[in-house]
Structure 1
Amino acid sequence: MDPLEIAAGLEAHGITDRTARRFRHRDVFSLAEELYARTPHGEAPAAARTRVPAGPCALLRLGCALLPGALAFGAAAAVPVWAGPVAVAVTVAALVWPGRAAGGRWPWAAHLLAAAVTGWAAHRYGTALALGLALAAAPGHLVAAAFAARAGARLAGSRALEEFADRVRPLLLASVAVFAAAAAGAAALAAAPLTAAVPLALLLFLTRLLLRHGAHRGPVAAALALALVPVPAAASAAAAGLLVHAVLALSRASAHARPRPPTRKEKQKMTGQPTNQGATR
């Protein structure tokens, strides 16, 4: 759709400025400009330019984001014995719903580790902590959606990969700060200890961001595993380390590029159907 989208795709496939210089271009963006000029293209449809879901779909996703807190509050009021496990379950489920992770794949290891971290924290600090994390799911959804929309706008307005990275890093840090304040409010509402609730909420929020934007899962799993260490500062260290990884990963244009819909041949290949009549022989 534009040269920066092509540059993001090249970057995602490991094409660096050094590789671009082999093709007599100063950087990846210059190479993308030539590819864009050589490729036939027309006016993009309005639906393809839409970045922020609107209408019933957006309301459904917001309702799903509000559901964990409502279920956790209901469990705490009705059956206090099961309030903690219910809050843990709906908090981890909020990492998956609404929407799958990038590429349509389910990162089971990350979600199992997130469940272990949340369950271990609820066991150590009580049901109030699990309730506070469940309440933080709704502001986490809103902040993540706002970050994705604003990062997409910056992607459309940038003319180089370095320019986009410089513009999106402050946006990410501001989003983290806003969510931290919201998580502190949720913890206070649930009467949970702030020193334990806020780092864990930040860890789950960064996990959601990274998984939804297609980042590598290794650092996410390592940070979640670190949070399982029975040391009070483990969750804070894990959240800080994952924030560093998020700044590096989410400042790449390829993390925010619009996915290209599969072609007819690709759909047939994914479903196992023959691509032509000769393939059936």
Structure 2
Amino acid sequence: MSGLGELDRPGVPGGAEAWDERSQGWTAGETEAPDDAAGPHPQAPGRLPKLRRTAADPVKTLMHRHRALCERAVDPLEIAAGLEAHGVTDRTAARFRHRDVFSLAEEMYARAAHDEETAPHSTALAAPRARPAWIVLTLLPGALCAATVAALHLTHGRTRTTTVAVGVLAAALALRAALARGPLGATDRTSPGSTQRASAGRTWTCWLVAYALLGDGLLRVAVAGGPDGPPTVSADGPWPPATAPVLALALACAPAAWCAHLFAVCTRRRLGASRGLEEFTASARPLMLGTFALFLSSLTALSALCGAVLGESAAYAQTVTLGALLFLARLLTVHGFSHAPAFVVTATATAEATALASVFAARLPGCGFLATPVETVADAWGAGSVPALVCAAAALTLLIHAARTLARASAHAPADRPW
């Protein structure tokens, strides 16, 4: 929106209505009667009489501009969130003789014409409730991944290959189901291109998880001049897969869902208690940061547990940074902001693939310089530092974006959810 004057000015032919800065209201043109005491006023032929401005109803004009929002709103808070999404601020509300957007929304809701089907007449936002269905769905990926890791260590030969393939497919399907419903399921407020972005995001997310499983080992042996064969299950092998980080990420699906649920419940309550957009933002931003810290704590504990049980390195840096990136990307997508997460996840996966490809490309004649940055970082801090640095930069970018975006009331407007 370019401003109140352009957004909410009624389209009256001839400019008969205009915003009066002195009376702070919309005014309508009206023909002025001659003043006999002042004597006759000569006028040129065809000149229109002088116009006198009288106060009109600015809220009615705003309701006309946002008629669809007022008709479908189930409570004043939904109107307030919609107005904020269109750029109406508390300062704008003051020009309508209201102290804030929430007060303006209450008047608009009270004056809107609601029929029996669209008026639930409740002024409190219903907080989402925990459902057994999505609770079970969020536990399935971790359980199936744990079973797959156990099969990887306990079986041999063709049986291992078949069992692991089935387990990976089952875990992937369970993860997709967990992301389709419940607190991790995206709302219907995403843009028309969200389907394509979601598909691309899933593809690159699979790449990030695959790199967490095999990438560090491959990069390590590639810098040393290998690999000489496929990855092995043995921890003493030249290219062992890192199962502990992947298992920790799969198990973290449940705490991620609970953290997202907690964030949704608390923000709905804050939205109902707030009396201004600035007040809600001041309370929602620390809540989002606290939710993020809670998830990171859970993921760190799961990483330590998986590393101890499997006898592998916990790989805290790689696991926590990747988990932070995926959690923030999903939290933004859940609230209808899918463009930035898809872009950042794609850029992260591309950076990891480029780092890995540069090591192999350096083996071509005259291209040894291509691997210098990656080899320098790997020699100084280890092969795991490459994905850790990339994911940390991406997660920090999304954290800054989420702190600004998810602190707005419009990000938490009521929406139809299957949970």
Specify the TM-score bucket, using the shorter chain as the normaliser.
0.7 to 0.9
Asked if 1 retains the 8 angstrom alpha-carbon contact of 2:144 and 2:171, the reply is: no
CA distance, structure 1, for counterparts of residue 177 and residue 329 of structure 2: 11
SS at match of 2:321: helix
User: Match for residue 276 of structure 2?
Assistant: 160
Match of 1:202 among 295, 316, 324: 324
Answer yes or no: is 1:177 the counterpart of 2:282. no
User: Match for residue 199 of structure 2?
Assistant: 108
More helix by share: 1
The aligned amino acid for 2:127 is R
User: Match for residue 52 of structure 1?
Assistant: 128
Matches within 5 A, 1:91-130: 93=176, 96-99=179-182, 100-103=185-188, 106=195, 107-125=198-216, 126-130=242-246
Answer yes or no: is 1:245 the counterpart of 2:318. no
CA distance, structure 2, for counterparts of residue 130 and residue 149 of structure 1: 29
User: Match for residue 275 of structure 1?
Assistant: none
User: Match for residue 279 of structure 1?
Assistant: none
CA distance, structure 2, for counterparts of residue 116 and residue 14 of structure 1: 38
Which stretch shifts more, 101-110 or 234-243?
Answer: 101-110
1:5-44 Cα deviation digits (max 9, x unpaired)? 3110112234456765776767644542431342256763
Q: 1:49 to 1:173 in 2, by over 3 A?
A: closer
Which stretch shifts more, 27-36 or 178-187?
Answer: 27-36
Q: 1:25 to 1:44 in 2, by over 3 A?
A: closer
Which stretch shifts more, 107-116 or 148-157?
Answer: 107-116
Cα deviation for residue 260 of structure 1 reads 6.5
The aligned amino acid for 1:63 is V
SS at match of 2:188: helix
Q: Which runs of 5+ in 1 are unaligned?
A: 262-281
User: Match for residue 227 of structure 1?
Assistant: 348
Asked if 2 retains the 8 angstrom alpha-carbon contact of 1:11 and 1:254, the reply is: yes
User: Match for residue 149 of structure 2?
Assistant: 76
CA distance, structure 2, for counterparts of residue 90 and residue 137 of structure 1: 13
Larger radius of gyration: 2
Asked if 1 retains the 8 angstrom alpha-carbon contact of 2:270 and 2:283, the reply is: yes
CA distance, structure 2, for counterparts of residue 23 and residue 86 of structure 1: 57
1:211-238 Cα deviation digits (max 9, x unpaired)? 11112x2211222123221333000111
1:59-88 Cα deviation digits (max 9, x unpaired)? 111111111110000011124553794597
CA distance, structure 2, for counterparts of residue 27 and residue 159 of structure 1: 7
Q: Which runs of 5+ in 2 are unaligned?
A: 1-73, 154-160, 217-241, 308-313, 353-385
User: Match for residue 133 of structure 1?
Assistant: 249
Cα deviation for residue 256 of structure 1 reads 1.0
Cα deviation for residue 185 of structure 1 reads 1.0
Q: 1:18 to 1:196 in 2, by over 3 A?
A: same
CA distance, structure 2, for counterparts of residue 189 and residue 120 of structure 1: 21
CA distance, structure 1, for counterparts of residue 414 and residue 405 of structure 2: 16
CA distance, structure 2, for counterparts of residue 29 and residue 153 of structure 1: 14
Which stretch shifts more, 118-127 or 176-185?
Answer: 118-127
User: Match for residue 140 of structure 2?
Assistant: 67
1:85-115 Cα deviation digits (max 9, x unpaired)? 4597368526623244110764222222222
TM-score by length of structure 1 reads: 0.79
CA distance, structure 1, for counterparts of residue 110 and residue 294 of structure 2: 41
CA distance, structure 2, for counterparts of residue 50 and residue 160 of structure 1: 19
Q: 1:21 to 1:37 in 2, by over 3 A?
A: same
CA distance, structure 2, for counterparts of residue 159 and residue 124 of structure 1: 50
CA distance, structure 1, for counterparts of residue 102 and residue 274 of structure 2: 11
Cα deviation for residue 52 of structure 1 reads 2.2
Using the aligned pairs only, state the percent identity.
43
User: Match for residue 278 of structure 1?
Assistant: none
Q: 1:246 to 1:200 in 2, by over 3 A?
A: same
